[in-house]
Structure formats: C-alpha cells, structure tokens
Structure 1
C-alpha cells in the first residue's frame, strides 16, 4: 500500500497522481553509452587496457546513476486529492509535505524548450503564508497544475 493510500482521510478522493519524468535517466544512459564506446575501443590495438578499464569505470558510474534515479523515482509520491496536495519522498528517512487546497494561491510551472517538447517541468505551489517545495522534473506538469487549480481543460 502506498503512502498516499495510507494517509487518505474519510471521503477524500485522489484526483491526480503525478511522477518524476523519465528524462532523469538520461545522464546514466549517456554514461552507459560512453562505457559501450570505451569497450568497443578496447578491441583496437591502441591502448586496449586503458579503454577496457575506462569502460569498467564508466559502466560502474552509469549503474550508480541509474540506480540512484530509479530509487528516487520509486520513493517519490505526488498526489492531488479533493482536499490537499501530498508530496512524499524518501524510504528510510521520509520527508512529506502537504498543503490544503484552500491554502493554495497559485501554481507556477517552469519548463525549458526540451521540457515543453517532452512534457516535463518544475512545479512550485504557492500558498497563503507559505510555499511548497518545488517539485522537480515532473511529468505532465500542466495536468498537475490543472488538477490543483480545478481547471480540467
């Protein structure tokens, strides 16, 4: 059972569930591609041992990056209910942030050109007297904003 399902109050309904965008895997995938090139170059006669060890090192870095981003995506939950916005991250050291819907003043979206093309961006929820942590690299940020503001268009 997810954290969101455990903290729902009676008659509270989930409107929207959001997640981290898959673009966060690109750095790890890029390093993995470089590892593949290094392994390919190790078959040449020009310093094969150097390229092989570089390939091992790059493969290790790629694995660390990919596992780190997978864990981050796995332990992050974002939901909008009819009463509040809920954001949870962390597995052992859990950090949660919630804001009642009647306290939400505005929702800001920051998207780069690539973010517009691939439909991801950063979402900041501003409330009365307080701000919400910026949600980074969120998939479909416009849908998240619309579910918070009540605009289903």
Structure 2
C-alpha cells in the first residue's frame, strides 16, 4: 500500500495525484549512448589494427575508448537504477485537507502540509522541461516552510489543481 493511503486521516480523501516524469532516465540514457559510441569506436580501432604491422597498432585514444566503456556502462546502469528508484518511491497527492508528498526508499523525505497553511505554490521549468512538460513544484507554507519536488509531470496543471482545491475547500 502507498504512503499516501497509509497516512490518510479519518474522512480524508485523495483528490489529485501527480506523477514523476520519465525524463529522469535521460542522464542514464545519454551516458549509455556515450558508452555505446566509445565501445564501438574503440572496438573498431582494435579490429582494424594488424598485429604483425607496427604501423597499424591501435592508437592510445582507441584503447582508452575501448577500456573506458566498461566503467561507463556500469555508471549508466547505476544512474538507471537510481532513476527507477525515484520513479517508484515518489508520491505526491492532494487531499481535501492537506498536501502529502513522499520521496525515497531507505532515506525517506516527507511533506504533509495542511491546505490552510499553504502560502504559495511555484513552478520552475527548464527549456527541456517546457518541451517535455515536466518541472519542479515548490510548495511554500507559513513560517517559511518550503518543499520542492522535481520532475513532476505537468507542473503548471498541478499548481492549478492545488489552487482550485484551495479555493473550494477553504471557502467559508
């Protein structure tokens, strides 16, 4: 069961949930592509060399590319596992009483802020975030409490939904 469902108060219901964008896999993908290119170029240089001819020995660059592809592959796998962990362990929900967010598996970070205590909700998007429709949503509460959650799908829509919920549930 999810963190949000486990921590609902009596008569509290989830009105909206946000997801993490798959763009968090981009660093892993780019590293893997660089690894693949390094491996192919290094292997091509190694195969083109003729061991009987001293003039056609692989260059230092080709040897470096071939040897560095192993550690780069390991690094890209680690980045992919990290992104997968973030994707599966991050939750963001808005209920009729509060905003609840959780990230992390072993080291957990949570936010539970009552709707009445929210001062502002801001969105930050990079150029890539604008193109792929993801960004950082920052919830600021009374007393200067500020929490940011990165790589949220449709962050402008999330901000709009939070404001709609605030309007409808905090009206007297």
TM over 0.5: yes
Larger Cα-atom Rg: 2
**1:49 shift after superposition:** 4.5
**1:110 shift after superposition:** 1.1
Q: Contact 1:99/1:132 (CA < 8 Å) preserved in 2?
A: no
Task: Name the SS for the 1:9 alignment partner.
Answer: coil
How is 1:33-44 mapped onto 2 (pairs within 5 angstroms)?
Answer: 33-41=33-41, 42-44=43-45
Q: Whole-Å Cα distance in 1 between the matches of residues 6 and 13 of structure 2?
A: 12
Q: Whole-Å Cα distance in 2 between the matches of residues 30 and 63 of structure 1?
A: 11
Q: TM-score, normalised by structure 1?
A: 0.89
Q: Whole-Å Cα distance in 2 between the matches of residues 60 and 74 of structure 1?
A: 21
2:73 equivalent in structure 1: 59
Q: Whole-Å Cα distance in 1 between the matches of residues 65 and 150 of structure 2?
A: 36
How is 1:142-153 mapped onto 2 (pairs within 5 angstroms)?
Answer: 142-150=156-164
**102-111 vs 44-53, greater mean Cα deviation:** 44-53
Determine whether 1:128 maps to 2:142: yes
**1:19 shift after superposition:** 2.3
Q: Whole-Å Cα distance in 1 between the matches of residues 107 and 124 of structure 2?
A: 28
User: Which segments of 5 or more consecutive residues in structure 1 lack a partner in the other structure?
Assistant: none
Determine whether 1:89 maps to 2:98: no
**1:122 shift after superposition:** 1.2
1:21 equivalent in structure 2: 21
1:97-151 CA-partner distances (Å, limit 9, x unpaired): 1110111121111112221221111111122223231112211101211221117
1:4 equivalent in structure 2: 4
Could you say what the CA RMSD is over the residues aligned between the two structures, in angstroms? 1.8
Q: TM-score, normalised by structure 2?
A: 0.80
**1:4 shift after superposition:** 0.7
Task: Name the SS for the 1:129 alignment partner.
Answer: helix
Aligned pair count reads 152
- Higher helix fraction (1 or 2): 2
User: Which segments of 5 or more consecutive residues in structure 2 lack a partner in the other structure?
Assistant: 49-57, 168-172
